[in-house]
A and B are shown apart, each in its own frame.
Chain A
Amino acid sequence: MAVVETRGLTKVFKQGELGAVNNVNLLTQEGEFLVFLGPSGSGKTTLLRMIAGLETPTAGEILIGGQDVTHLSPRERRIAMVFQSYALYPHLSVYNNIAFPLKAQKVPKEQHRQKVEWAAGLLGIGKLLHRKPRELSGGERQRVALARAIVREPTVFLLDEPLSNLDAKLRASAREELEEFHDRIKTTTIYVTHDQVEAMALGDRVVVLHQGVVRQIGTPREVYDEPADTFVATFLGSPPMNLLEADGVIVGFRPERFFPAGLLAPGGSPAETKLASQGGTRVPLRFHVEHSEYLGAERILYGILEGTRFRDKPVCARISSNILEIYAPKTTYDFAVPEPELKFFDAQTGKRIPPRPFSWQ
C-alpha cells in the first residue's frame, strides 16, 4: 500500500491553450478512498491517466509511496486501473483475463490458479471463469475488471467512472459493493466520477475539479456544507445552492434550508428545535411559487422572491415529504432561511468569505 502525491502536475495538450490539468497538488492518505469529482472536461480523467502513466505530464511530479514515478512506464508503477469500458480482453476467458496481470508480471505459474480463485471469490464470480467477456452482463464485467485489478495486490487502485455503464438500479448496489470491497482490501483508491452522489457516498475525501484546477479538497460533508467557492456550491447539490448577488457579495443558501416560515417557530419537531437552538435569527423572505416537482420523498418548488432587493430573483426550495402542507403554484408564501445557513462569497473571485452583515432591503 502506498500514498499518491502530485506536485504541480500540469498537462497541456495543445501549446498555447489552457491546460487540461493545471498545477495540481494532491496528497492521498494511506488506504484512503479519494474521489475526483467534476463535470466533463474538468481534467479528472487526464489527471488519473497521468497518475497511471498513460499520459505524460507537461510539468510536475508524481510520487507513489514516496518514489518519483513521473518518468516510469505504467507497468513499473505497480498500480491497477479499472477503465470506464472495463477494457476486458475480448478473446480471453474470464480466468485468463484475471490471470493476465500475473503472467505479465511473471508471478510463478503455480500460484496463478490460487490467486485467480481468490480474486474471483472475493467478487463472487467464481462460476464465470470459463466464460468469454461477451457472455457476461454489465455488472459481471465490472466485477471481472475489479478482480483483474486486485489479483496482483497493487499498491494503488485507480478507477475511471467504473459505474457509469451500469443501469441506475445496478449502480446503487454496485456502489455499495465497491464500498464494502474497499473496506476489506484497504488499498489506496482514486476514483473518478462526474456523479456527485457516487462521490459523496464513496469518498473519504472528494477533490472537486473544474477546468483542470482543484477547487476544493475535503470530506463529503465539507465540500457540501462548506463549499470553497461558488462553483463547488452550485456543482454539488441538486438542485444547486441558491445564489443572490448584491454589494459585491454573493449570498447563498441550500434549497433544503429554505423553509416555510411556520416550521421555524420554536418548539416544533426535532429538526426545528435544532435549528432554533442554533440560536441565530432568521431571514424572512416572500416566496412566489411558480411550479413544483413531486419527487416522492421530497418536493422541489421553483419560484421567485417577492419584496426585498432581490425581487424577481429565481430561487428554489426543497421540501421534505414529511411536511404535508400544500404549496400551490402562482401563490406567494412566507419562507425563511436560518441565518447560520447563509454562505457568503466574494462576487469578483467567487471565493468563500466569512459571514458578514448583509442588508436584505
Chain B
Amino acid sequence: MTSSPAVAQRPHGRRSTPESRAWWLGQAMFFPAMIYVLAVIGLPFALAVIYAFSDIKVGSVGYHFVGFQNFSSILRSATFLRALYDSFVFTIGSQVLVLVGSTFLALALEKKFRGRGVVRFLMLLPWVAPVSIGAIGWKWILDSLYSVINWVLVRIPILHLDKFNPPQWLGEPALAMASVILVHTWRLLPFSTVILLAGLGAIPKDIPEAAEIDGAGFWRKMFQINIPMLLPILNVALLFGIVFTFTDMTVVYILTRGGPYDTTQVIPSLAFFTGVLGGDLSEGAAISLFMVPILVVVAFLMLRQAHRTEVT
C-alpha cells in the first residue's frame, strides 16, 4: 500500500504516536455532526420508509408489513392527486413571482440612492420575522370580515364590488390558492433578492458600461447583458426556492388549513393532516415519501450547479 502524506489515513503501528492521536481526534470532531444528521434527518427518514410499508396507526401495537398497499391506495385517492397538483401550482406559481420580483428588486437595490440601507433592511423583514407572525398578519389582512384589502377595494368606485359580499380571499378555491402563493412569495422574496444582490455585485461594473458605450439601451442591457450574466446565480436561487416551497406547509397550515375543500392542500400539509392529526402514520409517511424523487432531482441539479457556477 502506498501512503501519501496528503491523504489522511489511519496510521499503522502503536496507538500512542502523535500522528495516531491526531487521526482519532479528527474522527471525534466529525462525530457530533454525524450524530446530528443521523438523529434529526436519518432516523425520521428511515422511520418514514418503515412506516410507509406498514399499517401502523397511532396507538397500534406491532408491525405488519403490507407492501405497497399504502402507495396504491394513495394513488387512487382524489385528495392526494389534488394535493400533488396543488403542490406544483403552489411551487411554480410562487417561484415565477419570486424570480421576477427578486430580479427587479435586486437590480433596483443595487443602484445607489438615498435611504438604500433602510429599504434593504425593510425588504429583508419578511425573511427575518418568524413565519407564524407574518402569516397570522396575512390571515387578518385576508380575513372574511376584517380584510383591509376588501375595505380598500369596496371603496374604489370603478370596481363595482358588493359591499356586503366582497371577495372571500381564503374562502374561494382560486382566490385561496392565489393568496397562499402571494404570501409565500412575500416570504421568499428577500432570500432570493439577497442571493441575486450578491450575484450582481460579482458582475464587473465595466461590462454593463461597455454595453452602454456599445449603444445598448436600458432593455437591451437588462435582457442581453445583466440577466444572462445573472443566470447562474438565478439558478441557485430558483433551486433553493423550489426546495423551500415544495416542502413547506406553514403558510398553507396557518392561512387555509388546506381548504376550502382541500383546494390548497399541498403534499407536506396533507401528510401532516393524515399522519399526525389523523393518526394514520403509515399513510402519512407514504404521502411524504412521494416528495423524495422530486427533491432528489432538485438536489442533484443544485449540486451540479454549485460546481459549475462561474460568473465570468
Interface residues, chain A, CB within 8 Å of chain B?
52-54, 73-75, 79-81, 83-85, 87-91, 100-101, 103-105, 134, 148, 152
Contacts and interface: CB of A to CB of B under 8 A. Distances in A.
B215 A89 contact: no
Nearest to A106: B215
A54 B207 contact: no
Residue of B210, B310, B312 with highest tally of chain A CB at under 10 A: B210
Given A83-B206, A85-B204, A134-B312, A90 B229 contact: yes
B215 A101 contact: yes
Nearest to B217: A75
B145 interface: no
A87 B207 CA distance: 5
B215 A75 contact: yes
Contacts of B207: 87-90
Nearest to B232: A91
A52 B225 contact: no
A104 B215 contact: yes
A126 to B, nearest CB: 21
B311 A89 contact: no
A88 B229 CA distance: 12
B308 to A, nearest CB: 13
16 contacts: A52-B213, A54-B212, A74-B212, A75-B213, A80-B213, A81-B213, A84-B206, A87-B204, A87-B209, A87-B210, A89-B207, A89-B211, A91-B229, A100-B214, A104-B211, A104-B217
- Name which of A53, A80, A104 has the most chain B CB atoms within 10 A of its CB: A104
A344 B142 CA distance: 84
B228 interface: yes
B116 interface: no
B212 A73 contact: yes
A81 B211 CA distance: 10
Contact of A104 (B206, B220, B231, B312): B220
Interface in B173-216: 204, 206-207, 209-216
Contacts of A81: 210, 213
Contacts of A134: 310, 312
A83 B214 CA distance: 12
Given A87-B207, A90-B229, A148 B214 contact: yes
A79 B212 CA distance: 11
A134 to B, nearest CB: 7
Contacts of B211: 89, 100, 104
A54 B229 contact: no
Nearest to A73: B212
Contacts of A100: 211, 214, 216, 224
Given A75-B214, A152-B215, 18 more contacts: A75-B213, A75-B216, A83-B210, A85-B204, A87-B204, A87-B210, A89-B211, A89-B225, A90-B207, A91-B231, A100-B214, A101-B215, A103-B220, A104-B217, A105-B214, A105-B215, A134-B312, A148-B214
A75 B212 contact: yes
Nearest to B215: A104
A100 B207 CA distance: 12
Contacts of A54: 209, 212-213
Nearest to A148: B214
Given A73-B212, A101-B215, A104-B215, A90 B311 contact: yes
Among B215, B216, B225, B231, the one with the most A-chain Cβ atoms within 10 Å of its Cβ is B215
Nearest to A158: B213
A89 B228 CA distance: 10
Interface in B266-303: none
Contact of B206 (A73, A87, A152): A87
Nearest to B230: A91
